[in-house]
Amino acid sequence: MEILVFPTLEDLSRKAAEIFVDISRACIISKGKFTVAVSGGSTPRRLYALLGSDSYREKIDWSHVYFFWVDERCVPKEHGDSNYGLVFKILLSKLAMPDENIRRMKGEMEPEKAARAYEEDLRTFFGKSALPAFDLILLGIGKDGHTASLFPDSETLGETDRLVVPVFIEKQQKQRITLTLPVLNNGSQVIILASGSSKADIIQEILGRKDSAIKYPAGLVQPIRDNILWLIDEEAAKKLER
């Protein structure tokens, strides 16, 4: 595990954009494609904007990049809560990519069916027998320690067979779809982005007190190749001893 702390969200986002460029180039050279699973939320917005900006857009061969989603809210893709909609608006609409490279979760479908359909899509793309191994998985973290749409105490945390599951979030009375822990933990490189003082307590719990990390979904992201990188800004890191 590696933890990098940056003065601001801007610095952190630039680092994430550089890593995105480096990994995508290396994957495209070595195997002709780059697969990334992206998150919603507010933290990665700047990263997505940077990737779509003049300074980064030309550095990536987008025709060989395949976008997947870590989770989705059960709303139509035009809805303001849609994670696909967020990434499309900020980044994908700026790129000329073949439709088949953009593999969204279908938030407009009935949740169980949408989860099954996405699992089928993953199995078709990555092969039937093995777990999908994304080249890069971009995650965020909530104040309660959730990541993707894996929330504390949810039974989905114990899922070992399914790649994608529907989740009902009691607090918000909302339905979502999420990748499961086995898929997150099989990522070749996993990056968790955290910014702002509202994340300071949970960052201290997970990164500062090793014993309590596994109480939280984000702490259960322990990729089998141990390639997890936390990119955090000073505000979020202010309760960590350094």
Give the separation between CA 242 and CA 239, rounded to whole angstroms. Answer: 9
Angle (CA) 200 187 140, round 5°: 25
Minimum distance, C-beta of residue 46 to ligand 6PG, in the bound complex (Å): 11
Enumerate residues 66-105 that contact ligand 6PG by CB under 6 A: 70-71, 83
Cite the beta strand spans of 59-196 per DSSP E: 65-69, 71-73, 102-103, 136-139, 164-169, 174-179, 190-194
Strands 71-73 and 228-233: unpaired
Nearer to ligand 6PG, 14 or 33 (CB): 14
The residue count for binding ligand 6PG (CB under 6 A) is 14
Name which position in 42, 63, 172, 212 contacts ligand 6PG (CB under 6 A): 42
Contact 214, 162 (CB under 8 A): no
Dihedral sign for Cα 147, 152, 155, 161, please.
positive
Residue nearest to ligand 6PG (CB): 140
39 binds ligand 6PG (CB under 6 A): yes
Nearer to ligand 6PG, 147 or 156 (CB): 147
Of 161, 131, 110, whose CA–CA distance to 37 is shortest? 131
Binding span for ligand 6PG by CB under 6 A among 40-48, 102-110, 118-126, 127-135: 40-48
Minimum distance, C-beta of residue 129 to ligand 6PG, in the bound complex (Å): 28
Chain residues binding ligand 6PG by CB under 6 A are 39-43, 70-71, 83, 140-142, 146-148
